[in-house]
Amino acid sequence: MIPKLIRLPSFVWNRKSVFLTLLSSYLLIFLLPVSIGMVLYSKVEGMMMEHAERANTALLDQLRQTLDVRLREVEQASQRITLNPKLQGLLNSDGSEAPEDAYKLVEFMKDHLAQDRGRGTLISDAYLYFGASDTILSSSARTDTRTFFERIYPVEGLSYVDWKRQVLDSYHHRSYLPARQISSSDVGRRTMLTYVQSLPLVETKDIKGALVLLLDAAPVRSMLSQAAAGGGRVFIVNADGELVLGSEEDEAPDSGLLERIGGGSGRFELTDEHGREHIVTYARSDQTAWRYVLVLPEDLVLRSLQTLKAWALGLLLLCLLGGGLAAYRMAYRNSSPIRELVGFIRSSRAQVGGAWDVELGEFELIRETIEVSREEERRLRDKLAGQTPVLQANFLQRLLRGEVDPGAVTPESLRFMQMRFESDLFAVLFVRVGDIREFGGEASERQWALVRFIISNVCRDLLAEAHHGYTVELDRTTMGVLVNFLPEKAEKVQGAAAVSAGEGARRPERDGGRQPDERTAGRLEDELLEAAVTLQHVMRSRFGVQLTLGVSGIHEGLGRIGECTLEAARAADHRIVSGADTVIRFSDLREEEHHYHYPIELEVQLMGAVKSGDAEGVRRLLESIYALHFGSRRITPEMGRCLFFNMVSTLLKIVNGMSLQPADIFPGSFDPFKKLSLCETAEEMHAEISGLFLTLCRYMKARSSDHSQLLLQAIRDHIEERYGDGGLSLTSIADAFHITPQYLSAFFKKQQGENLTDYVAKVRVGHAKRLLRDKRLTVTQIAHQVGYAADIGLIRVFKKITGTTPGKYRETAGEEAL
């Protein structure tokens, strides 16, 4: 915006100019106190928010403590009644007591139930329920449950069945049920909280009765309204996430509020359906497990904070505008000398025909003018030095292949390539790199290069003490290490003469060389083997890279290096038999066997196990063949591949002999010989051939199981056709298919995965759901149509499977239809 208004020359606004550097510095210095002010403002905002949160939390804690005291009185009244010795005898009464016993009931009511009314507690009324006689005793009446519900205390929104099930018949331990409207001729229409304690106290299943205390919700709602004064709302939520009571009558919390309440206490922000932001604070009572929720509009809480924010933003904009103009003026004035110097340098270059990068910064231009000659010299020197590793790598590759004339190698040529040979004893390590995904995830070229670099450095460090070695990359996964033994090692082992002091090192042999004695070679090979094992351990434990190393024999003379390479490569190739991540010496391969054991009798046995579908027998035979050749014996890699190819031919004999189509058995393209050729170890080939045989074995077994599927489908069809028959049972179905009930039960459980009786019940419930949508049919009629003699049988099974009763399901289905 500023450059468009002032319209300065374009070079002033160069992104690498000194002017912009100074302007940025001044702006940073100017923005430092502004940033501190913003941080201070955020702290003030946080403190005000924290103060509001503490006030809301303290308000909820005061409300919780007050209500806990009032509710503790309710629980004390409950204890006086439930712990009374006379109550146990009343619970066992069946309603047929004599007149004097009936008088005892009335006396009990007067002594214990009516005394807690009108004493300043929340208890509005109380009654006892006796399940054995279906009797309710209140402070003013004794009657049955239906009469009590319909005439004395009817509950709005609940039927008699639901009220009796939820309040009287269900197990409750000091339970507070959500507030509901109760209309009666005695008390009129009032909102009541219901406190329920199942009797006797020690029983959780054999419930004989219940104590019910009706609590007046008006005083509680008055407390909530006082806490919500100022425009907020207060709700009480029980442990099940249900609304118990609100500060306003017929007022429900916003959608999504109850789902977000969890834990002991907390605070979160909520947006209502009108887009208005609210701050929700809640606290939990340990006595009742209720959560008291306070919902306040955010603009009501943060009114003073918003005023402060408006002033702060106005002052911030004013400071930014004034400080920006002052920083611009100072930067422009102080950058003038540098601009003049840069202009002089550019004009001088133009006079001598030089060129410069227009994107180059002013400071960079001055520095580049001073260092141009030194940089050119350094570039030439680095270019020359960069060719040395390429020359060295090319020489080592030809040397390992035996393509170098030993007579043409001189100390001068070795020094030119930054190499030297300390003695004329040589060996070669062949390093094959396995899976590197554990090292760097994706096996990219960059990761491969990094792995080869690490191997090269680890080799150099391991061989530095006793040997002298050079590493060269042969291909992406293979590296060769040329090991040259130090003079003192070679002389100590060989007992050779001391090295001439004038030469400083023994001159390499110019002829083909000779083989050192066996004791010399053995000791040097042991040292080399130890270094190879250490290399493998370091790469596996520290970098997660698996290596297969081949160790050649010890040979003397440059002319024998090619022979060392062939021996090391042969040893490394033996990982097909020995497995990956191993160290193999060429000297250990002399006892290899050049034949394998796979007689016709074993092949016939394997073919029979596959055709019969005996997967365990096939697996056992394959494991025995693998253990025979690659466990206790050592065969050549070539013989190992021939063994697995012969086993593939056995597989093809089975497929072709039974006129099978490979596409129906094996997924994807069927080319077993190609898959085996891609395997690098015998273990991988064993896993591949085992997978092929077991797949064919499972296919053969599946062919024999079609009859079971047909029988299972016939049983399901039989049940679907006769589900309405009340005599449908395990025995009748078994008779229909001429099998025993025991076999039918075991067969259906194995094939279907569930019991036959459970499956029949699910089919009947499914048809009952369909019939329940027709409201002309009663539950009893539907029960008869789906095979039940009475509605109680359908209700029991329906609730067990669906979790609800048929009546509730019919109401839910009707609401969904609307």
pLDDT tens digits for 500-518?
333 333 444 434 455 566 6
**Tokens 């712990």, residue?**
83
Task: Give the separation between CA 338 and CA 530, rounded to whole angstroms.
Answer: 65
453 compared with 255, residue with greater pLDDT: 453
Whole-angstrom CA distances from 67 to 72, 163, 173, 213, 609 are: 8, 26, 19, 16, 78
Q: Does residue 403 carry a pLDDT above 50? A: yes
What number is the average pLDDT over the span 269-279? 78
Q: Does residue 356 carry a pLDDT above 60? A: no
pLDDT at 760: 92
pLDDT at 8: 41
Kindly report the number of other CB atoms within 10 A of residue 179's CB atom: 21
Q: Does residue 147 carry a pLDDT above 50? A: yes
Crossing angle between the packed helical segments 336-351 and 362-386, to the nearest 10 degrees: 50
pLDDT at 517: 61
Highest mean pLDDT among 19-23, 297-301, 615-619: 615-619
Summary mean pLDDT of the chain? 77
Lowest-pLDDT range of 210-214, 582-586, 763-767: 582-586
Of the pLDDT bands very low, low, confident and very high (cuts 50, 70, 90), residue 751 is: confident
796 compared with 364, residue with greater pLDDT: 796
Lowest-pLDDT range of 68-72, 138-142, 742-746: 138-142
pLDDT tens digits for 711-735?
788 888 899 899 888 889 889 998 8
Q: Does residue 53 carry a pLDDT above 80? A: no
Of the pLDDT bands very low, low, confident and very high (cuts 50, 70, 90), residue 491 is: low
Closest among 269, 343, 409, 304 to 14, alpha carbons compared: 343
What number is the average pLDDT over the span 387-399? 82
Beta bridge mates, 483:
427, 469
Distance of CA 65 to the CA centre of its chain: 43
Of the pLDDT bands very low, low, confident and very high (cuts 50, 70, 90), residue 706 is: low
pLDDT at 251: 73
Burial 497-521 (b: 16+ CB within 10 A, else e): eebeeeeebbebbeeebeebeeebb
Tell me the H-state helices in 274-406: 298-301, 303-334, 336-351, 362-386, 388-400
Kindly report the number of other CB atoms within 10 A of residue 649's CB atom: 11
Q: Does residue 490 carry a pLDDT above 60? A: no
